[in-house]
A and B are shown apart, each in its own frame.
Chain A
Amino acid sequence: MEELIEQESFSDAELIRAANAGDSTAFEALYFRYRDWVVNLAFRFTADRELALDILQDTFFYFSKKFPGFELTCQLKSFLYPVVKNLSINARNKARRYQPGEELFAQIEAPQPAQTASENDLRFALASLPETHREVVLLRFLEEMPLAEIADALEIPLGTVKSRLHNALELLRENPKIKSLFE
């Protein structure tokens, strides 16, 4: 059976190597590869389309300043995640839509009138988790990142990721409001 390629054939490492040598089209290939993931992550942080698009631009401008000389020591998503997160917090600060202590994942946590009651229950349940635990849960189940990548992205030990995830899942399991969602 003939093998198909449904994505670009160059790995991130190969594209980064080419970009370090001055090839801007290699960097553009990386932009298109990660564009949608970055903009949707920014939207989840800000719940604001215009802000998300600005953060997309700022993220790749920040990334492009690392060349030449950028060295990929982890998955590219693990590198980009804290960049997007910090830019999102700054953007929300500037827009005065974020106060310290407010929820980080605005799109997830804001109750939507059109959502079902059980979906709003899940939102509240997630909002009730400690922020550090909620972040791990969302990276695991929403971004579908492996635990090792979560550890890289958050710059915490793998053991800490595992224990936060375990504790968060226990809390969610015990929450009577969302129990019915999973039966």
Chain B
Amino acid sequence: MNEDNKNFEEKLGKAIRQLAKETIFVPPAKDDEIVGGIRKRFDRQFLNKKKEKIPAKKIVRVSRWQRWIPLAASILVAASILYFSRPASSRSVADVNGDGKVDVLDAFALANQLKSGASVSADVNGDGVVDEKDVREIAARAVRLEEGDRS
């Protein structure tokens, strides 16, 4: 009976959402009007009120164990650099469109192939299945920052 209830509720939910499928697109001019009004209101509301200053940091006496924090932080940073600079062994798999680089066009190509139902061999995350997670993994690699950009 519980399974029946669950099925009924799932189907009901789907049917109700189908009834309300029409959605409203908010024109950019309306966004501008609303956001402009918000800014004016904030300026007025905070005009006579002293804007909160970001509180000054308290002076902290560093105890004996807290002296180890900078060293621990340095080890963590070093480990992160080593982790993120590891070679991308499956880069060739992620280059779905075969143009020699991994970028959003590879994620786009894989997404299109999945949508069309074509069989693909781009198991980028190595979980044995080619699905949306591989699309996301490719997109993640595409927007990864280079070494010099992470400062």
Q: Which residues of A contact B (CB under 8 A)?
A: 1-4, 19-22, 24, 27-28, 31-32, 35-36, 39-40, 43-44, 49, 52-53, 56-57, 60-61, 64-65, 67-68, 107-108, 115, 119, 122-123, 126, 137-138, 140-142, 144, 169, 172-173, 181-182
Contact = CB atoms under 8 A, between A and B. Distances in A.
A27 B16 contact: no
The list of the 6 closest CB pairs from A to B, nearest first, reads A24-B42, A141-B13, A2-B140, A22-B46, A22-B51, A182-B11
A65 B41 contact: yes
Interface string B69-93: 0000000000000000000000000
Given A24-B42, A31-B35, A56 B26 contact: yes
Contacts of B118: none
Nearest to A116: B18
Contacts of B115: none
A181 B11 contact: yes
B45 A67 contact: yes
B42 A122 contact: no
A28 B38 contact: yes
A6 to B, nearest CB: 8
Interface residues of B, number: 41
Contact of B18 (A3, A4, A119): A119
A40 B24 contact: yes
Contacts of A68: 45-46, 49
Given A36-B23, A142-B16, A173-B8, A64 B42 contact: yes
Contacts of A142: 13, 16-17, 20
